[in-house]
Amino acid sequence: MYVCICNALKDRELADAANDARNVAEVFRRCGRRPQCGKCLPDVAQIIEDRRALDNPAPLAAE
């Protein structure tokens, strides 16, 4: 699915670039692109958060 229409970037490509990325700018840089309209930036930020959550799962609550 396309997330960034301006740069024709799909969710999968962004998720790969988001691995250990510090911010949205770094994700775009890794993809060799620059944000243009900015409408996708919240979605890219969410992809970074999702990657972090996968890499650092929250501990299960104690019973």
Cα–Cα distances (Å) from 32 to 15, 39, 60, in that order, read 14, 18, 38
Question: Shortest distance, CB of residue 40 to ligand FES, whole angstroms?
Answer: 3
Q: Which is nearer to ligand FES, 38 or 56 (CB)?
A: 38
Task: Tell me whether residue 6 is exposed, middle or buried, using C-beta atoms within 10 angstroms of its C-beta: 0 to 12, 13 to 18, 19 or more.
Answer: middle
Site membership for ligand FES, residue 23 (CB under 6 A): no
Chain-centroid distance, C-alpha 49: 7
Site membership for ligand FES, residue 36 (CB under 6 A): yes
Site membership for ligand FES, residue 10 (CB under 6 A): no
The footprint of ligand FES (CB under 6 A) covers: 4-7, 35-40
